[in-house]
């Protein structure tokens, strides 16, 4: 994929949820494009549609309207309808996820948690896990379990886990939401370094300070992209 290609392209992307007999719109039709090696921040208040957007782009949920292409794969629109197995394969091959909550398994070491996407498929790659944990600054924490790690260290393990499959795009949903300011800045610096190395990142936040790390900022409110 060349640097001019779209990693993500959404046109009139819509998502509504059924609440009883009512249809409640979460996304009202947004156009979103993300090129290779971009660091795009989706900025908006709680309930604006940020997480819904990431869930659709990451193939965790299905749109109810519009068109969506991820890593050259037509996910929705123009008659496309991928099976759950096809969506799962697309996620495994192209998408890494980081969340505000770290979702580490407490009985596993940092090395084992970093390999979780592989372990679920009965695979292992300890060398890559070690390299990633060293890359995120945890060479001295390889055998530590989550209860022995700080919040920032746990998020670093979560980032290594998100990168284990060499994703095309990293989706980060409020990744510093549970961290103090100093640790937040350390995680942002790490994400900037990863982006400098060519990783494509789409990050959601309500924190305007986080927008400073982006190559481009999109503002979302009430399910629509709006001017700043």
Question: Other C-beta atoms within 10 Å of 14: how many?
Answer: 18
* Band of residue 2 on the pLDDT scale cut at 50, 70, 90: very low
Tokens 């284990």 belong to 164
CB contact set of 84 (below 8 Å; sequence gap of 6+): none
pLDDT in tens, 26-59: 999 999 999 999 999 999 999 999 999 999 999 9
74 within a domain of the structure (yes/no): yes
The CATH number given to whatever domain includes residue 199 is 3.40.50.300
* Band of residue 3 on the pLDDT scale cut at 50, 70, 90: very low
Contact 73, 10 (CB under 8 A): no
What pLDDT does residue 79 have?
87
CB contact set of 41 (below 8 Å; sequence gap of 6+): 203, 204, 205, 210, 211, 213, 214, 216, 217, 218
1 within a domain of the structure (yes/no): no
Phi and psi at 168, nearest 5°, equal -75, -35
What pLDDT does residue 81 have?
85
What pLDDT does residue 209 have?
87
Q: Which domain covers residue 180, as residue numbers?
A: 6-226
Predicted confidence (pLDDT) at residue 143 exceeds the cutoff of 80: yes
d(CA 54, CA 88): 15
What is the arithmetic mean of pLDDT over 83-108?
A: 95
The number of domains in the chain is: 1
62 within a domain of the structure (yes/no): yes
């Amino acid at each position: 994929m060349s640097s001019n290609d779209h990693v993500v392209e959404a046109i009139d992307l819509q998502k509504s949820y059924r609440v009883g007999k009512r249809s409640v719109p979460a996304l009202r039709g947004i156009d979103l494009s993300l090129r290779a090696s971009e660091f795009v921040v989706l900025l908006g208040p709680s309930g604006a549609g940020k997480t819904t957007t990431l869930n659709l782009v990451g193939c965790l949920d299905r749109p109810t309207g519009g068109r969506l292409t991820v890593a050259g794969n037509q996910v929705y629109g123009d008659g496309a309808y991928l099976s759950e197995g096809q969506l799962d394969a697309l996620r495994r091959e192209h998408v890494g996820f980081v969340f505000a909550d770290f979702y580490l398994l407490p009985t596993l070491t940092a090395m084992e948690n970093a390999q979780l996407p592989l372990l679920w498929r009965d695979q292992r790659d300890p060398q890559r896990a070690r390299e990633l944990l060293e890359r995120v600054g945890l060479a001295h924490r390889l055998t530590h379990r989550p209860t022995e790690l700080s919040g920032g260290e746990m998020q670093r393990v979560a980032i290594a886990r998100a990168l284990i499959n060499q994703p095309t795009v990293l989706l980060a949903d409020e990744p510093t939401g549970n961290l103090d300011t100093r640790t937040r800045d350390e995680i942002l610096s790490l994400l900037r370094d990863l982006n400098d190395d060519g990783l494509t990142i789409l990050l959601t936040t309500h924190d305007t300070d986080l927008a400073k790390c982006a190559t481009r900022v999109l503002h979302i409110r009430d399910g629509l992209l709006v001017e700043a």
